[in-house]
């Protein structure tokens, strides 16, 4: 029950993260995916796609991600 309550509290924060405006400029963007095992009957694995930007100072930043 506690995991469910925490998940419910995180949903608005995750939605806000996906809708935020990007303020930093990146000179390079990497797109990648990884597959994670699941404990569901419908799928054995699910892909997590991620976009990582590299800023001019060399720091990396997660731009966004998508679970599909």
* pLDDT per position as a tens digit, 28-66: 999 999 998 877 777 788 899 999 999 999 999 999 999
The answer for residues whose C-beta is within 8 angstroms of residue 37's C-beta and 6 or more apart is 44, 45
> What Å distances lie between residue 16 and 8, 30, 64, 67, CA to CA?
14, 22, 11, 16
**Which carries the bigger pLDDT value, residue 10 or residue 44?**
10
Note the pTM of the prediction, 2 decimals.
0.73
> What Å distances lie between residue 25 and 1, 41, 44, 64, 66, CA to CA?
41, 41, 37, 14, 21
When pLDDT is averaged across residues 11-37 and rounded to a whole number, the result is 91
């Amino acid at each position: 029950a506690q995991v469910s309550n925490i998940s419910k509290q995180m949903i608005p924060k995750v939605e806000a993260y996906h809708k935020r405006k990007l303020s930093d400029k990146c000179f390079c963007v990497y797109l990648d995916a990884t597959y994670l095992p699941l404990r569901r009957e419908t799928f054995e694995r699910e892909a997590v796609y991620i976009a990582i930007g590299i800023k001019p100072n060399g720091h990396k930043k997660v731009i966004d991600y998508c679970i599909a």
